């Protein structure tokens, strides 16, 4: 209930219109809580903003089978070739070993010479049964 207005006299002695003074409304009712509790929910005016772009989506999971294994690069160096007894012989080196190979020769249980026809020699990598070609040079 508002207090009763009291008449006031102005500077010239005439009564002024009556003014009622109302009770103050608590600040918390007008603007909400203040202090640390006002920002605890993260919904305050000065809440933190993250301006970084969102992280990229994860790459799609591929259910494709892994690539098929392939034979390693040919470990031999061609030293030369010659015709002996009507068949080609090729001289190969690997590290400190030297090999003299003919058709169907198996080298270290890993490679088999399939065909010698200059300028190429066909060799099968036995663990994967893959054929590789070695350039042995043109006919001399």
Domains of the chain: 77-135 (2.30.30)
One digit per residue, pLDDT tens: the chain, 140 residues? 556 655 666 677 777 777 888 888 887 777 766 656 655 555 556 667 788 999 999 988 888 888 899 999 999 999 999 998 889 999 999 999 999 999 999 999 999 999 999 999 999 999 999 999 999 998 76
Give the number of residues written for the chain: 140
CA-CA distance, 25 to 39, in Å (whole number)? 22
Q: What is the pLDDT of residue 46?
A: 62
H/E stretch holding 27: helix 27-31
- Cβ(28)–Cβ(34) below 8 Å: yes
Q: pTM score > 0.75 for this model? A: no
- Cβ(127)–Cβ(69) below 8 Å: no
């Amino acid at each position: 209930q508002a207090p009763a207005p009291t008449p006031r006299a102005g500077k010239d002695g005439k009564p002024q219109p009556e003014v009622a003074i109302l009770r103050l409304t608590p600040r918390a009712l007008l603007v909400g809580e203040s202090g640390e509790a006002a920002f605890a929910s993260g919904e305050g005016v000065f809440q933190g903003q993250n301006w970084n772009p969102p992280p990229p989506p994860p790459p799609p999971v591929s259910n494709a089978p892994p690539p098929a294994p392939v034979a390693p690069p040919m470990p031999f160096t061609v030293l030369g070739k010659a015709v002996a007894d009507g068949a080609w012989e090729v001289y190969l080196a690997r590290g400190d070993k030297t090999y003299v190979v003919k058709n169907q020769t198996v080298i270290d249980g890993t490679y088999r010479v399939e065909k010698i026809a200059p300028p190429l020699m066909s060799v099968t990598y036995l663990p994967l049964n893959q054929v590789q070609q070695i350039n042995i040079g043109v006919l001399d």
